[in-house]
Amino acid sequence: MGMTIIEKILASHSKYDVVKPNENIDIFIDARVARDFGGANVVKNLKDNGMGIDDPSKTFFTFDCNPTGSDQKYAVNQHICRQYARQQGFKVYDIDAGIGTHLAIDKGLAWPGSTFVSTDSHANIMGAIGAFGQGMGDVDIAATFAKGSIWFKVPESARITFTGKRPANVTAKDIVLNILAKYGANSLLGYSVELYGEAIDGLTLDERITIASMGTEMGVITIMIPPSDAIIKQSEKVTGKKIEKIIADKDAVYVVDDVIDISKYVPMASKPGKPHGAVNVTEFKNTKIDSAFIGSCTNGRIEDLREAANILRGRKVAPGVVLKIVPATDEIWQQAMKEGLITVFKEAGAMLSNAGCAGCAAGQVGQNGPGEVTISTGNRNFPGKQGAGDVYLSSPSIVAASAVAGYITTPDNIPAQPATFDSLKQATTGAKAVEKEVKSEKKPVTVEGCVWYVKEDNIDTDMIFHNRYLAITNIKEMGQYAFDNLEGYKDFAKKAKAGDIVVTQKNFGAGSSRQQAVDCFNSLGIHCVIAESFGAIYERNAINAPFPIMTYKTLEGLDLVEGDTIRVNYETGEITNLKNNKTVKGNPFSDVQMEIYQNGGLF
């Protein structure tokens, strides 16, 4: 009995001459990769278990989830990985490089017939060049870093043969969305799917990458596309190796063996929330969009950018629509610049970012907000994956055409005038605004509370409320992060009680203008903050909130220690230690501060 392509690859990397479906075998891995997402956990697993690196020349980090280094948690993880790679002597493809799976193909880390694992669930993109690629968890990758091999269950195989001629308006993205529409997310679950036919043989590398990258959304182990002579030649060029083409045996066994007429395929788009919920794009025509995204490991190649540029050249993005474009790798970015594509995008009004995963990862451009409608070239539109809005999936040409039109459309149906957003009519404005009912009861001008005595100057707003939490808009959620970044007080939010009082020293609230550094105390029910002085912006933010703050000239004579209970009078400025009845005179509220305080805020 013969073997399929994946069976031959796995057998050649194991101790067996022949392997069969459902056998668990140990396979040698040619390239072992961890990303900035999960990389730090791989390092932790290695260190915790006292393991080293099997072969530094086959081991890599790729930073593609947050290639801007803009998220502090990602920045920490990236630095952990960099330090570990320096110690162990292996290569890091840093934030200036691009998507790791694409780099693996372009840099020769993977080649036809090779094996590749990564913390990227789309590592099976290697099927584009007839290689075995698999996404794995942190534990698996750590073990592979240390051993050079990992166990794997040989999958069953399916074969799809395409007949007929591919329609001119059907892109590679349309091909894979048509396949998804037929097989869904689980009917080929766990299979290795091989594609055949004249239309497949003629696919370019970029098109093969687009199709193979969505194998994960089909639930398959891989979409394996037998490499053409051109693919073999390109791989030999980047690897410097002589590569033998691996083909399936004539008597190989396929559990599913289908024939599809590709001439019946049409341009497609996926419904929000379901990559496999793909239908003819005409079903969504005239759906108004807020934003558009071109990029991801599915459609961030140079051919994808050319496809988009052909639509955008001489046109403008519709008013109010945001078009975001992210090339897959820096080399593609550079090529796009040489070809003038970047100029086309900028003149059309698009926004570009440096190479990386973008919309699929929270660390880069491409996310959307509640109620926002996006059309994207990504491979996933699961709820919350690219943001809180609705995401439709389609090809670069359809996304570009839709960005120009202002609604979902096709390249052959772009209107002369784009759709615009309706103006929001305000029922009341300015002085005619409806007045809120004002409660007559006055707020207390004297409060008592247990003291947190923070004896430090220049406590800045990042120490009070770190910038990694700035996306939080609900004040009720802010309290848990108060003093989260202040050494010695990181457990403040867990221990503080409503009615407590914070006493500190000079220049409290220095630095950034963030309102959250005030609101987090309001969230916890802290009575007030007393300081020798406040940062100017912080002082205004607190007064307007209104969150009571008060200054003092000296606390000498109060004999204050942390945990004492004090009484504070906002009108007189008196601060009394109830443990010893000693009092000092602070600076009372000004008339403006008292008015805003009693009003319940500036508004």
Q: What is the pLDDT of residue 588?
A: 97
- Yes or no: domain 5-263 corresponds to CATH 2.40.110.10: no
Distance from the first to the final alpha carbon of the chain: 80
Query: In this predicted model, what pLDDT tens digit does every residue of 470-491 receive, in sequence order?
Result: 778 899 999 999 999 999 999 9
Residue 522: what pLDDT? 95
Segment holding 390, helix H or strand E? strand 390-393
Nearest to 238 by CA among 113, 132, 107: 107
For the whole model, what pTM was predicted? 0.82
Non-local CB neighbours of 355 within 8 Å, separated by 6+ positions: 64, 67, 96, 97, 98, 99, 300, 326, 327, 328, 329, 330, 332, 333
pLDDT at 573: 97
Helix 536-544 to helix 591-599 angle (10° resolution) is 40
Provide the CB-side half-sphere exposure for 321 (13 A, CA). 31
Q: Class for domain 268-413, per CATH? A: alpha beta
Per CATH, domain 446-599 is 3.40.50.720: no
pLDDT tens digit sequence for 77-89: 999 999 999 999 9
- For residue 276, CA distances in Å to 156, 180, 258, 273, 446 come to 21, 5, 19, 9, 62
Q: Determine the pLDDT at residue 437.
A: 52
Average pLDDT, 10 consecutive residues per value, the chain (603 residues): 96 98 96 92 94 98 85 86 97 95 98 96 96 93 96 96 98 98 93 98 98 94 97 97 96 98 98 94 96 95 98 97 96 98 98 88 77 93 83 97 98 94 53 47 94 95 88 91 95 97 95 90 97 93 95 95 97 97 96 94 87
Instruction: Report d(CA 180, CA 569) in Å as an integer.
Output: 69
Rounded CA-CA distance 230/251 in Å is: 26
Do the domains at 5-263 and 446-599 have one common CATH topology?
no
pLDDT value of residue 440: 57
pLDDT of amino acid 542: 95
Q: 3-class DSSP state for residue 467?
A: helix
Q: Could you tell me the residue ranges of all domains in the chain?
A: 5-263, 268-413, 446-599
Cβ neighbours of 349 (radius 10 Å): 17
Whose tokens are 């004002």? That residue is: 438
Q: Check residue 386 and give its pLDDT.
A: 78
